[in-house]
Structures are given as structure tokens and as C-alpha cells.
Amino acid sequence: MATQKKALGKGLGSMIPDKRPATAKIDKKEAIDDNSEKIVFLKTNDVEPDREQPRKFFDQDAILELADSIKQNGILQPLLVVKADGYYKIISGERRWRAAKEAKLKEVPTRVMNHLSDEEIARIQLIENIQREDLNPIEEAIAYKSLIDRFKMTQDKLAETVSKSRTAITNSMRLLNLNEKVQEMVVEEKLSTGHARALLAIKDQEKQYNAAQRVFDEHMSVRETEKMVKKLINEKDEVKPVKNEDDERLNIIYHDMEEKLKQTMGTKVSIHQKSKDAGKIEIEYYNMDELDRIMSLLQSIQTNI
């Protein structure tokens, strides 16, 4: 049985009251007056997304399905936009706009909301996405942090705005302390928020990422993840053996190899010894052009072998 979503307190509804039925289809010939804002049709190419919009990831298959629906039924709810420098910036409705473009619509129904402040726009975007459950946990956390940083909001005030508990806001924002690669795993739904919160207890970023990979590879439950994390935290550091002359000699050899590889690759190269006869080589790059250069170099070496 479907459950009704909880209304979001003093959020979107109180800012923009909507007198029309939710399923009312907009007729291009009509001009519906609603809260002193009229429905106007703008050229699709004159409308653009807001770079500050909290939602960054869109399911392309879902966009195509919505495009098919729009071809049959039109856009049932207008986009909210604000006039910017030479274009109209989307406040709400980027998914509908993307689908409209896929459907080859030349015009989209909009409500131009120029009376809204930047803070009100940011609140509307966040509240709508939360209400529709469109944000992944990392996007939601970033959006909370952005509102707090940009508008000097307290967590209590933010919690009241989005009808969440202060604890929920705090727990959400804690996810931003995760290793960036672990955050990506959450975005890609390789890890749940329960897994992610358990991994937060591992402060070492590299160990945290390695643990996250293990969770994913071994299909661990949240409870199993918590047990693994507890075990990792409680493990005592192994006593490192005193280096002998052979170890010192190997260190010199590895250092010399690193220097030669740095000269060949044109970037920082590190050799990490795991055992007497095994280890790994790390090659660093700082932008995509440099990565392409390194790949071309490696391919040329392989071709000459």
C-alpha cells in the first residue's frame, strides 16, 4: 500500500501556494494567474539549469520515459524559473526540462519567480528534491552544507525548514567526512548510508576506502560492516621488525628505481614494498591531459616491447 509523504513544514508549499489541481494540464492559450505569477511559455533553449542546484545526477532512462509521457500528455506542471543574464535559470523542474529537450519541445511552460531571494531559491530547490526523494545521500549532505555556509543558517533553522530533526541533518553532513572515493561508492549505490556511517569510524582515509571495497566485494550487511570496522579499530599495530642491512640496500635500490621512473614518466612515481618480492607502483597525474599523456606513453612502451 502506498504511503503518503510527509509535508515539509514551512518549506515549498508556504513559499509558493498552488491553487491548481496537481494533475491539471496547462493549455498554451491560457494565462493562469497564481500568486501574482503567470504561466508563460519560453523557448526551451532560453532556459538553462542552475549550477547551484543540489541535484547533479539524473537517470537517463527515467528522463527518456518522461519524454515519452510528455509527447503524449504534455508537461503537467510548469517549471519555476528566474530571469538571469540573457537566459532563464531553472529553480525547479530541471528533470522536466531535460525530458522536454528529449521530446524536441520548442517551448516549455514556466512561472517566472523574480520576487524570490537567493536564499529562498536555494531552499525551494532543496525542499523539492528532498520531498521527491530525488537526491542521493551525498547530494543531500552537500545541499545542507551549502545552505548553512551560504546563508549562515544554523542546523536548527535548517532542520525546521526541511522538517527534519537536527540529528538527521548532522548525520547527513557527516557523510562528507568520508574518503571521496567512498562518497562516489555511495552515489553509485555500491554502499548504503548505513554502510557509509559505519565506515566513518575509520579515520585513516586509505584504510577506510580499502574497507569500503571489501564491503562491496564481499556483499557485507551493515551489521557485518560494523563488526569489521570495530575489529579494524581494535587491532593493535604490529611491531615492525628492525631493518637490517638487506632492507637498507633494498630501500636504496627502490629509491633509485623511483627516480628513473619519475624521469621516464615525467611525474611523481612511488614504489610501495609489501613483501620481499612484491609491491605496487603508483603513478600520479593532476589533470585529464596528463593522464592521456601517461596512457600514450605506456602504450608506446608496450608497442616497442
Q: Which residues are catalytic?
A: 94
Q: Which residues contact 43 (CB under 8 A, 6 or more apart)?
A: 106, 107
* DSSP 8-state assignment for residue 115: T
Cα distance between residue 16 and residue 128, in whole Å: 11
Helix, strand, or coil (residue 48): strand
Sign of the alpha-carbon dihedral angle for 32, 36, 37, 38: positive
Three cell numbers, residue 171: 548525520
- The DSSP bridge pattern shows strands 37-43 and 107-112 to be antiparallel
Distance CA 236, CA 73 (A): 64
Contact (Cβ atoms closer than 8 angstroms) between residue 265 and residue 283:
yes
Q: Residue-wise over 46-58: b if at least 16 C-beta within 10 A, else e? A: ebeebeebbbeee
Place of cell 618480492: 277
d(CA 156, CA 146): 15
Q: In degrees, to the nearest 5, what angle opens at C-alpha 18 toward C-alphas 12 and 19?
A: 155
Closest CA to 110 of 133, 87, 127, 85: 87
